[in-house]
Amino acid sequence: MDRTGLADFLRRRRAALRPADVGLVSGPRRRTPGLRREEVAALTGMSVDYYVRLEQRRGPQPSEQMLAALARTLRLTAEERDHLYRLAGHNVPRRTPEDGHVAPALLRVLDRMADTPALILSSLSEVLVANRLAVSIFGDPATRTGLARSDVYRWFTDPTARSVYPAEDHDRQGRSLVAALRVAYGAAGPRSRAGELVRALLAGSGEFRGLWQRHEVARRFADHKTLVHPEVGDIEVDCQALFTEDQGQALLVLTPRPGSEAEEKIRLLAVLGQQDFAGTAR
């Protein structure tokens, strides 16, 4: 681990970002060039003390999961992300559609969507990044680990994962998730993370086995969805997906119709903020 190089790299990348680059509002009294240390820590999901120690060359070696989160917070390119891993003494992740690194350009689009739910998904239906409104509806993706990071895995193994959709939409949502997993599995092969996910679900869910045998292959996001929130009730939204060039990730934007009851409910969620009643699945 190159503590001096890592500290300098983090400081310079932090100073190069503006609050607007990560969806924050720049106040009139801001004197720090770029982001503040506490802002980087909060966006990354680490303690301020831990981040400060990294910049002061006295922190412990960050985990690969922490480095991936830092790369997203600092809006690093793939090359910069690889450099960060080397400085921290880790092997560089393989560059595949499954590696979870989000392109800075896609993150910048997400950062500008403060008034409607939006999230970035991997090819395995993992929520890589979500804005505040999306977290209020679907839950915090940072709390999920292992196979449970994937919505398709939780859909077939955790009954509570379906609570965000009305019962009449469960069949359509399940089929969509399996069809999208078919795309990822076909592209990555049986020895990939997609293959691991498929094997686990084939062994643990009869419902999944039945849908898998249909051989439906598609990346489908319904044009119109009804989401169920425990505090504000049903929220009807239209869906739009923006894919990366390699089709490995998608920015999903959920917008209510102007002047609708759903628009009022989303405004209410913005006021309520992130609370414990957030949902658990997309």
pLDDT tens digits, 149-202: 999 999 999 999 999 999 999 999 999 999 999 999 988 889 999 999 999 999
Task: Decide: 120 and 221 in contact? Cβ < 8 Å.
Answer: no
Q: What integer is the mean pLDDT of 204-232?
A: 89
What residues have CB less than 8 Å from 32, skipping those under 6 apart?
none
pLDDT tens digits, 50-68: 999 999 998 899 998 899 8
Distance CA 127, CA 110 (A): 13
Mean model confidence pLDDT for the chain: 87
Same domain, 213 and 248: yes
pTM given for the model = 0.72
Same domain, 116 and 255: yes
Q: What integer is the mean pLDDT of 248-258?
A: 91
232 pLDDT higher than 70: yes
CATH number of the domain bearing residue 242: 3.30.450.180
Same domain, 80 and 121: no
Cβ-in-10-Å burial (0-12, 13-18, 19+) of 105 comes to exposed
User: Considering its fold, how many domains does the chain have in total?
Assistant: 2
Q: What is the DSSP string of 104-141?
A: HHHHHHHHT--SS-EEEEETTSBEEEE-HHHHHHH--G
CATH number of the domain bearing residue 18: 1.10.260.40
Distance CA 82, CA 91 (A): 8
- Domain span including residue 234: 104-272
The per-residue pLDDT for 98 is 61
Same domain, 113 and 32: no
Q: How confident is the model at residue 222 (pLDDT cuts 50, 70, 90)?
A: low
Please check whether residue 244 lies inside any domain of the structure: yes
Distance CA 148, CA 142 (A): 11
Same domain, 255 and 141: yes
Same domain, 202 and 262: yes
Helix or strand or coil: residue 239? strand
